[in-house]
Amino acid sequence: MENLIARVADAAGVTPDVARQATALVADFIQREAPNDAVDKLLEKAPALKSIIASLPESGGEGMSRGVKGFMGIAAGAMGGGGLMALGGQLMSLGLDMGQIQTIGREIFAYCREVAGDDVVGEIAGAIPGLSQFI
């Protein structure tokens, strides 16, 4: 887990704390928005992501199943929130600019490719509209 955080922090030029928060937000977003099968494969190969997600107290995931969280995401989207725009807002609230957000996304997905393979990452990217521009 610490290797991924250090990798993200170094690439984006941020502190390890900001890198941890950003990685947790991205991983939580993936867990909520991507197909369950792809998420299961990813988390099986990258258990560090589970720990990183759990370190984010405001992830909204405490005690919620993916289905409930997904439904909440759909409801938020219907009200004008949710999706990549909401994630971008959360990341910007950490003080990140668009270049840093893209760098963080690329590093996290490079890590995911290394541990879970191109097929899993492709399935995740294909299921989330607009995600490909950040990976």
> Which residue stretches of the chain are H helix?
2-12, 16-33, 36-45, 47-54, 66-78, 83-92, 98-116, 118-127
For 35, the 3-state DSSP assignment is coil
Q: Read off the pLDDT band of 70 (50, 70, 90).
A: very low
> 115 versus 73: which is more confidently predicted?
115
Please check whether residue 100 is in contact with residue 11, taking contact to mean a CB–CB distance below 8 angstroms. no
Kindly report, residue by residue over 28-57, the tens digit of the pLDDT.
999 999 999 999 999 999 988 999 999 887
**pTM for this predicted structure:** 0.81
Q: What percent of the chain has pLDDT over 90?
A: 67
CA dihedral sign, ordered 19, 57, 89, 123: positive
Per-domain residue ranges for the chain? 2-134
Architecture of the domain spanning 2-134: Orthogonal Bundle (1.10)
Tell me the average pLDDT across 64-75: 44
